[in-house]
Amino acid sequence: MSSRERILERLRQRERPFPEVAAPAVYRPMVEIADTSPAALRARFIGEAQKAACAVHEVASPEAAIDLILALVGREATLSAWDPAQIPLPGLASALELANVTLVGQDAGARVGLTGVDAALAATGSLVLMSGPGRYRAASLLPTVHIAVVAAGQIMADLESWLAAQKVTAPDLMRRFSNVVVVTGPSRTADIAMQLVMGMHGPRELHVVLLPSVEGP
């Protein structure tokens, strides 16, 4: 008998250990958000992301976003980035080219990484990043500075609602890709005498570039 059969056999021999317990009838969200209007979610996302030690930049236009990104990249010759087509900023690719910034995928030498996001979560100030074509995991992981571009329409209430949306849009939507990471602030550790140190193995700075809502300011 294989180990698989032996383990399952042993478990099946036992009656359910907690016959009085069923799954919760209703799942309460971790954070109750009373006002889920786009403006309220946006305000909450900004506040929570800042609490998680992100630098949040609200920009007035896509052009302003590109200027800000170029300023953050500074004099770096290379940028570890997602394919610009995966980032909701028209004109980004040509602006980077004009500034003589070479886009690389996984490059251990790049100081700055640039990505879009799949969603931003208001309850916890988190960013959801899925792997996929043109989407390097390394861009949000290896550099010391990570810049994430967030469109206003990408802000959702919380992890619960993002996961639920994956089920509704198409069965198993999130399984199409190998990796989903929910990022909440820059990497950190408190292992040395409980003292908080930012930038352990991942980025030390996380800049969120938040685009204006399409409906106007």
Partner 1 sequence: MQNRSNDFIPAAQVAIHDADLQRAVSFGTNAGYTRRRAAMFAAGEAHGQALRRQAAAIRRNCLNRLPELLAEAEANMTANGIRVLWAIDAEEANRQVVEIARRHDARAVVKSKSMVTEEIGLNHALEAAGCVVLETDLGEYIVQLGGETPSHIVVPIVHKTRESIRDLLIDRLSMPPTDDAEEMARFVRETLRRDFLAADMGVSGGNFIIAETGSLCLVSNEGNARLVTSLPRVHVALVGIEKVVATVEDYATLTQVLPRSATGQAMTVYTHLINGPRRANEPDGPEHVYVILVDNGRSGIYATTYAEALACIRCGACLNGCPVYQVTGGHAYGWVYPGPIGAVVTPLLTGLENASPLPYASTLCGMCKEVCPVDIDLPRMLLDLRADLVAMGRSEAVWTVGMKAWAGGVGSPATYQLGGRMAALAGKVVIGSLPGPLKGWTVYRTPPRFAKKPFRRLWAERQSRREERDEQP
22 binds partner 1 (CB under 8 A): yes
Q: Which is nearer to partner 1, 90 or 109 (CB)?
A: 109
137 binds partner 1 (CB under 8 A): yes
Q: Which is nearer to partner 1, 161 or 213 (CB)?
A: 161
Per DSSP, the three-state class of 102 is: strand
DSSP secondary-structure letter at 63? H
42, 44, 135, 207: residue in contact with partner 1 (rule CB under 8 A): 135
Q: How many residues bind partner 1 (CB under 8 A)?
A: 76
Are the CB atoms for 137 and 178 separated by under 8 Å?
A: no
39 binds partner 1 (CB under 8 A): no
Are the CB atoms for 106 and 80 separated by under 8 Å?
A: yes
Work out the number of other CB atoms within 10 angstroms of the CB of residue 25: 5
Nearest CA to 118 out of 78, 148, 75 is that of 148
34, 35, 133, 214: residue in contact with partner 1 (rule CB under 8 A): 133
Q: Which is nearer to partner 1, 65 or 128 (CB)?
A: 128
Q: How far is the CB of 150 from partner 1 (least distance, A)?
A: 17
40, 64, 93, 182: residue in contact with partner 1 (rule CB under 8 A): 182
Give DSSP secondary structure letters for 111-137: SEEEE--SEEETTTTEEEEE-BTTB-S
Write the CA distances from 157 to 32, 79, 164, 166, 174, integer angstroms.
Answer: 9, 31, 11, 14, 18
- Characterize the bridge pairing of strands 188-189 and 197-198: antiparallel
Select the span of 5-13, 59-67, 70-78, 88-96 touching partner 1 (CB under 8 A).
Answer: 5-13
16, 75, 169, 214: residue in contact with partner 1 (rule CB under 8 A): 16
- Characterize the bridge pairing of strands 145-150 and 102-104: unpaired
50, 78, 184, 213: residue in contact with partner 1 (rule CB under 8 A): 184
Q: How far is the CB of 52 from partner 1 (least distance, A)?
A: 8
x/- track of binding to partner 1 for residues 52-91 (CB under 8 A): x---------------------------------------
Judge residue 18's burial from the number of C-beta atoms within 10 Å of its C-beta, 0-12 exposed, 13-18 middle, 19 or more buried.
exposed
Binding to partner 1 in span 87-116, by CB under 8 A: 105-106, 108
